[in-house]
Amino acid sequence: MSLAKKNINPSISNPLVNSMGNVLLIDDLQNRSSIIKKSLLEFGYNISGHIPLNVEIMGQINLFNPDMLILVTELPSSNLLKTLAEINKLLPLPIIIFAENDSPNLIKDVIKSGVSAYVVSEIIPQRINSIISVANERFKAEQALKNELRQAQNQLESRKYIEKAKGIVMEQKQLNEQQSYNLLRKMAMDQSNTLAEVAKNIIDVHKFLSIN
């Protein structure tokens, strides 16, 4: 009796599989990238695309929709770091660079560009999964800080709108501060809007009516 050969999916059988998923591999050093590519596959990552460094990266991200970028290069150029900074702003995701060289000034620029990990010198295949894990955690921590800052800024902006709208209502309706706030809150509930949205609408209308 013959036994059918099982088609084993490495992403299921490998206990070291990382949930990050798809990797876009970008390189100009084929001998080094081949080591990384082999290790990624052994650790269970899916390489959604493997492209040369001179290709327009932003378009490739839209095409392959990766969960992270891994770049292999001798030394990242200033133009490349500018591109990575733009990616970090518009399409943020973990970015790892494996390079052959570095310099103090370069490291500062690399950090500013939003790179999650910058690895120099010999590539040790056994360390690649750990490097990716650390880079991913660092990326998540940075994104959490950015979100907290964005929320704080939005809250501050909302308070400014509300305070200004209260002043307008107090002046127009001859109400005290608490009465003005209660009126704004009632309007927000009636309109199913936030207090800040109602306040901004009042400010906009007041500006429009104040135009001579």
**Closest CA relative to residue 120, chosen from 71, 57, 69:** 71
pLDDT at 100: 85
pLDDT at 185: 92
Percentage, residues of the chain above pLDDT 90? 58
pLDDT at 15: 40
Whether the predicted pLDDT of 80 surpasses 50: yes
On whether the pTM is more than 0.85, the answer is no
- 18-123: which CATH number, 3.90.1150.10, 3.40.50.2300, 3.40.50.720, 3.90.79.10? 3.40.50.2300
What are 96-132's pLDDT values in tens digits? 999 988 777 888 899 899 999 999 877 888 889 999 9
What are 135-151's pLDDT values in tens digits? 999 999 999 998 999 89
Give the domain ranges of the chain.
Answer: 18-123, 149-210
What are 153-197's pLDDT values in tens digits? 999 999 999 999 999 999 988 999 999 999 999 999 999 999 999
d(C-alpha 68, C-alpha 6), whole Å: 31
pLDDT at 121: 77
Exposed / middle / buried, residue 60 (Cβ in 10 Å: 0-12, 13-18, 19+)? middle
pLDDT band at 83 (very low <50, low <70, confident <90, very high): very high
Task: At 97, list the tokens.
Answer: 């660079």
User: Which residues are within 8 A (CB) of 146 and not within 5 positions of it... i.e. 6 or more apart?
Assistant: none
d(C-alpha 69, C-alpha 49), whole Å: 10
- Classified by CATH at the fold level, domain 149-210 comes out as Arc Repressor Mutant, subunit A (1.10.10)
Q: For residue 86, how many other CB atoms are within 10 A of its CB? A: 14
What are 194-208's pLDDT values in tens digits? 999 999 999 999 888
pLDDT at 26: 92
